[in-house]
Structure 1
Amino acid sequence: MKNLRNNAVLMLLGGALLLASCDKKDTGTLAGPPPAGTFTTTSRTVGLTTEVTFTAAPNPDVYLYHWEFGDGGGTNGTGSVATGQTVTHVYTKGGTFKAQLITDGRGGQTFGTPQDVVIPSSLNVVKQYLTGGSSRTWKLDNGVVAPITVGPSDTDPVSYYGGNPAPGGLPACQADDEYTFSTANVFTYDAKAQTFVAGATGGCQAPRNVSTPFTFGDSTGPGVAQLTLASATPSPFIGVTDAPNLTYRILSISNTNMVLRAGSTAAGVVFDLKLVVK
């Protein structure tokens, strides 16, 4: 019985000490100031993209680094997102983007000041590939499967025509056509002997050789660049004579290969064309 009374006394004393240790003004908030959210960046060119590494300033009070890169999407609609003190993000287009670091720590959450990240345009690199720095000639790539496909839209570029199932399927009068682009923004089509004309009454016909200016700039819709041929007689084209308009988007390009999409985003039909440097 004596032991029971002693234990009860100890419990009461412990409870009193615990209450005494609590601050009557404690509101339950996190301790310390909100953590700062500053960062530095380094970048490098990777093909037609720019890879940027973001590094947050070290802060022992921070337990979460959250990033928004400013190029679309994100929790605030301002960019792609990632977490970590050091992260890497790839920007696929040039421009000035507002990157933001959000930190969580003992003092709560801090939205850092958005910082401009300037990404150089890839258009100069694309045009260098397109023209070879002076003048470069391309041909449809008859050595691959499906050098030409046709579909109703950017999201479905193949359902109308999936392309030749084996290499070497293009008509000879189409496979030998040459398409030349110069740094002076002049396009030249050389049919060699004949032009393949699409349609029920088409086939190999008289050559439709032509030279015309083209405009070059950012792509409207998917693509790394866009070129639009000026009207001329005969009507200029790349790859196929029945493309819906004179707009061609460069979906991808290297020093040897290029994929073009003939038809604007509103055309109602698109042709994907695989080309190779002559």
Structure 2
Amino acid sequence: MKNLRNNVALLLLGGALLLAACDKKDTGTLGDPVPAGTFTTTSRTVGLTTEVTFTAAPNPDVFLYHWEFGDGTGTNGTGSVATGQTVTHVYSKGGTFKAQLITDGRGGQTFSAPKDVVIPSSLNIVKQLLTNGSSRTWKLDNTVVAPITVGPSDADPVSYYGGNPAPGGLPACQADDEYTFSNANVFTYDAKGQTFVAGATGGCQAPRNVTTPFTFGDATGAGVAQITLASATPAPFIGVTDAPGFTYRILSITNTNMVLRAGSTAAGVVFDMKLVVK
């Protein structure tokens, strides 16, 4: 009987120890480590947007990579979303966005520390394209149809003059003109010998070379940006001498081509001009 009591006591003690051990280790998970989420980014300019590629560090414990990009309303309230170890997202506006990686694995789900993704504003991208970051020279594109058109308004930019019907129609003294924009907001016009002066008594005349400051900012009306030349002597212009005022709106721009609209929304006449990088 004494041995039986001893065996029962040992059994109860062993059970208590086993329960205590199980309780101590029980964390409510499957026992694998919670996957840590870290990532890197690379970016490139695409038109007037910025494309960012996000790459998560590989982790054998992760079976799902989930991203929030910080520029909308995602599941965690922080942005538009995607899944995959490597994903690409296009930011259409500038600013600082907090991107986050969410990983799911055998050990559960975890959120990475938010990472600031700094996106340049579209104006900064336009300025970069206009000046190449330092200085860039443009010319009227004499290789295309209708490099210059004229109309009464933004809604109708062509009815006054539809432009040359074939490439190569610009006067030689206009086709060789050069327009240089610096990142320091300085505009230089080089006539290359003669300036084409518009009007009934115009034609190729003495050069009107000039250098003047310009302001750069958001377009008023149609356009992705706006250039306003400062008054100077001779009177500065881009493309045509009879442009309405000193305001030019950039309708579109790439690394090689630009479409300018001379004339504000209140000008009563607009000149659209196609330019190309020299």
The TM tier, using the shorter chain, reads 0.5 to 0.7
1:82 maps to none
Q: Give secondary structure in 2 for the equivalent of 1:237.
A: coil
**Residue 176 (structure 1) aligns with:** 176
Contact 1:223/1:252 (8 A) holds in 2:
yes
Superposed displacement of residue 90, structure 1: 7.9
Query: Once the two structures are superposed, what CA deviation does each residue of 1:44-92 show, in whole Å capped at 9, x if it has no partner?
Result: 853103688857539xxxxxxxxxx9xxxxxxxxxxxxxxx98xx9886
Deviates more, 1:128-137 or 1:173-182: 128-137
Q: Distance in 1 between matches of 2:273 and 2:72?
A: 37
Task: Quickly say closer, same or farther: Cα 1:184–1:119, change in 2 above 3 A.
Answer: closer
- Secondary structure class of the residue paired with 2:173: helix
Provide Cα deviations, 1:64-122, integer angstroms capped at 9, x if missing partner.
xxxxx9xxxxxxxxxxxxxxx98xx98866579xxxxxxxxxxxxxxxxxxxxx97421
Letter in 1 for 2:171: P
* Residue in 1 that maps onto 2:223: 223
Aligned to 2:270: 270
User: What is aligned with 1:128?
Assistant: 128
Using the alignment, how far apart are the partners of 2:123 and 2:252 within structure 1? 12
Give the structure 1 partner of residue 199 of structure 2. Answer: 199
CA contact 1:93–1:224 (8 Å) conserved in 2? no
The higher radius of gyration belongs to 2
Structure 1 letter corresponding to 2:174:
Q
State the TM-score, normalizing by the size of structure 1. Answer: 0.62
TM-score norm. by structure 2 comes to: 0.62
Distance 2:218 2:72 in 1: 26
Task: After TM superposition, give the deviation of residue 134 of structure 1 in Å.
Answer: 1.1
Equivalent residue for 1:234?
234
Gaps of 5+ in 2: 1-42, 52-68, 83-88, 97-117
Give the equivalent residue in structure 2 for 1:104: none
Structure 1 residue runs without a partner (length 5+): 1-43, 59-68, 70-84, 97-117
Tell me which residue corresponds to 2:158.
Answer: 158
Query: 1:188 is paired with a residue of what secondary structure?
Result: strand
Counterpart CA distance in 1 for 2:239 and 2:201 is 18
Aligned counterparts of 2:266 and 2:90: Cα–Cα separation in 1 = 28
Residue 190 of structure 2 corresponds to which residue in structure 1? 190
Deviations 1:152-193 (A, max 9, x none): 111111111110010000000000000001111110000011
**Residue identity opposite 1:219 in structure 2:** A
Task: Name 1:48's counterpart in structure 2.
Answer: 48
Percent same amino acid among aligned pairs? Answer: 86
- 1:189/1:163 CA distance change after superposition, 3 Å: same
Q: In the TM superposition, what are the counterparts of 1:238-257 in structure 2 within 5 Å? A: 238-257=238-257
Counterparts in 2 of 1:221 and 1:187: CA distance versus 1, 3 Å: same
For 1:104-143, list aligned pairs within 5 A. 120-143=120-143
Query: Counterpart amino acid of 1:198?
Result: A
Question: What is the Cα-based RMSD across aligned positions, in Å?
Answer: 3.0
**2: CA distance, partners of 1:171 / 1:235:** 21
1:261 alignment partner, SS class? strand
Q: Which amino acid aligns with 2:262?
A: A
Letter in 1 for 2:159: S
Distance 1:143 1:152, change over 3 A: same
Whichever residue aligns with residue 133 of structure 1, its letter is G
Q: Distance in 2 between matches of 1:186 and 1:207?
A: 19
User: For 1:50 and 1:265, how far apart are their aligned partners in 2?
Assistant: 29
Residue 190 to residue 234, structure 1, CA distance change in 2 (3 Å): same
